[in-house]
Amino acid sequence: MSTHRPRRSRRISLLAVVAAAGIAVPSVAAADTPVAPVASDHHRPTAVRVLDDTYYQDALGKSGQELKAALHTIISEQTKVSYSEVWDALKATDEDPDNPSNVILLYSGRSQSKDENGGNADQWNREHVWAKSHGDFGTATGPGTDLHHLRPANVTVNSIRGNKDFDNGGEDVPDAAGNRTDDDSFEPRDQVKGDVARMILYMAVRYEGDDGFADLEPNDKVDNGSAPNIGRLSVLKQWNDEDPPDDFEKNRNQVIYDSFQHNRNPFIDHPEWVDSIWE
Ligand SMILES: [Ca+2]
Ligand SMILES: [Ca+2]
Ligand SMILES: [Ca+2]
């Protein structure tokens, strides 16, 4: 993984502009001394996540498709990781705050040793929340390795979710309390419903078909197959409202920004932008 930090100089110059204009800058921003791209940086407390409005400067005041286009430009400036590098990245982004030896699995909510990753039924693997068959992007460096929608998941539960669209309803998923599924859709547990929605909608804004990959977009269907779509949008919007970003989700956004991709999921910082873009 590259440690190139493309936004640093711009962030500083924007701060200088803000300061020169006499606009009050939060003290935490002034204290944003250069951050060393090291492992200890994973543990920056969420209280110091700052500069959102500097990062989003070119999107502020916009709405609808103009907002989406501005966010696309902002978040497309990023470092990319390879599929093999995803393992170690997830061990940082999804670390159990109560046990640094473990990660938290997305659907089951289980805390499991970072070292128990692999392909066996009881291990954890790399779940593509935007199922990689929807748009057929595979695991080449790009959407298939984008940490903003990759999560540790139990191998068996991951395979039950498969490439299903998201919707409410179905039978309970074994060994993953609160998750439900039927023939054509998957409902994650309440605690991660909003996380799932914001991951899907990040992918829709980040991937617009201008970089050799499909233009990913949500729709309101559940039978999307290999089309570059995931449903159901109306349900995802509801989940975004019902399950606002918590410290775990905010922290992983910050870790991805600080240590891996140097881009952010705008909907974790501004969940209200979901309803502005998708009315
Ligand atoms: Ca269904
Ligand atoms: Ca949540
Ligand atoms: Ca798109």
- What confidence tens digit (pLDDT) does each residue in 184-197 have? 999 999 999 999 99
Largest CA distance in the chain: 59
More reliable by pLDDT, 30 or 167? 167
Ligand nearest to the CA of 278: 3
Which ligand has the minimum distance to the alpha carbon of residue 199?
2
> Distance, CA 30 to ligand 2 centroid (Å)?
30
Ligand 1 centre distance from Cα of residue 220 (Å): 12
Q: How far is the CA of 27 from the centre of ligand 2 (A)?
A: 29
- Which pLDDT tens digit goes with each residue over 138-194? 999 999 999 999 999 999 999 999 999 999 999 999 999 999 999 999 999 999 999
pLDDT reading at 254 higher than 90: yes
Nearest-CA neighbor of 105 among 158, 39, 50?
Answer: 158
Q: CB of 208 within 8 A of CB of 202?
A: no
Ligand 1 geometric centre to CA of 184 (Å): 5
Overall size of the chain counted in residues: 279
Distance from residue 20's CA to the centre of ligand 3 (Å):
37
First to last CA, the chain: 37
**Choice between 202 and 20, residue whose per-residue pLDDT is larger:** 202
Average pLDDT over residues 126-133: 98
Ligand nearest to the CA of 242: 2
Residues with Cβ within 8 Å of residue 139, at least 6 apart in sequence: 83, 132, 145
Distances from the Cα of 240 to the Cαs of 81, 198, 218, 244, in angstroms?
27, 7, 14, 6
User: Residues 221-248: pLDDT tens digits?
Assistant: 999 999 999 999 999 999 999 999 999 9
Per-residue pLDDT, 17: 36
Ligand number nearest CA of 69 is 3
Which ligand is in closest contact with the Cα of 221? 1
Domain ranges of the chain: 8-277
Q: What is the pLDDT of residue 115?
A: 98
Q: How far is the CA of 71 from the centre of ligand 1 (A)?
A: 31
Distance 129 CA to ligand 2 centre (A): 14
Ligand 3 centroid, distance to 200 Cα (angstroms): 10
Distance CA 74, CA 76 (A): 6
| Å from CA of 225 to ligand 1 middle | 13
* CA of 48 relative to ligand 3 center, distance in Å: 31
Give the integer Cα–Cα distance in Å for 58 and 68. 11
User: Between these two residues, 61 and 11, which has the higher pLDDT value?
Assistant: 61
Q: Which ligand is nearest to the CA of 75?
A: 3
For residue 256, pLDDT over 70 is answered with yes
